[in-house]
């Protein structure tokens, strides 16, 4: 039996360039961004894709725009959306851990190029 996994990015989100005054963190606000009207249309059209017929499961991050994108595919396949926050976006700040790994694995190359 073959398992096929489709990774689908959310459709176009609503752009709001205003300032939101709230006690929520930037991350909490980011999770609540919805799809634009165009994004809703894109998500609906995506659900008509033949490859997405007869799928057995749908997983989504907890971001509203991701769930809104998945809902049309879920409806077409009579499925519920499994929501998992471990699928949420990642913020990769400075990757200092990578430098530590490079020094341990190939110290002579690291020391030569970063002298």
Using a pLDDT cut of 90, give the percent of the chain over it: 27
Higher pLDDT, 109 or 7: 7
Secondary structure, 3-state, 41-101: HHHHHHCCCHHHCCCCCEEECCCHHHHHHHHHHHHHHCCCEEECHHHCCCCCCCCHHHHHH
Judged against a pLDDT cut of 70, whether residue 107 lies above it is answered with no
More reliable by pLDDT, 14 or 96: 14
Cβ atoms of residues 13 and 37 within 8 Å: no
* pTM of full prediction above 0.75: no
| Each residue's pLDDT tens digit, 35-85 | 888 988 998 998 999 999 889 999 998 888 899 989 999 999 999 999 998
Rg (CA), the chain: 20
3-state secondary structure of 9: coil
pLDDT at 21 over 80: no
Angle at 26 between CA 22 and CA 24, to 5 degrees: 35
């Amino acid at each position: 039996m073959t398992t096929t996994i489709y990774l689908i990015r959310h459709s176009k989100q609503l752009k709001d360039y205003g300032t939101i005054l709230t006690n929520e963190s930037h991350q909490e606000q980011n999770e609540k961004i919805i799809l634009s009207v165009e994004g809703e249309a894109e998500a609906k059209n995506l659900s008509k894709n033949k490859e997405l017929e007869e799928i057995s499961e749908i997983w989504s991050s907890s971001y509203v725009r991701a769930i809104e994108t998945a809902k049309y595919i879920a409806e077409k396949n009579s499925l519920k959306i499994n929501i998992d926050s471990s699928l949420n976006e990642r913020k990769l700040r400075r990757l200092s851990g990578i430098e530590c790994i490079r020094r341990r694995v190939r110290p002579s190359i690291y020391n030569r190029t970063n002298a």
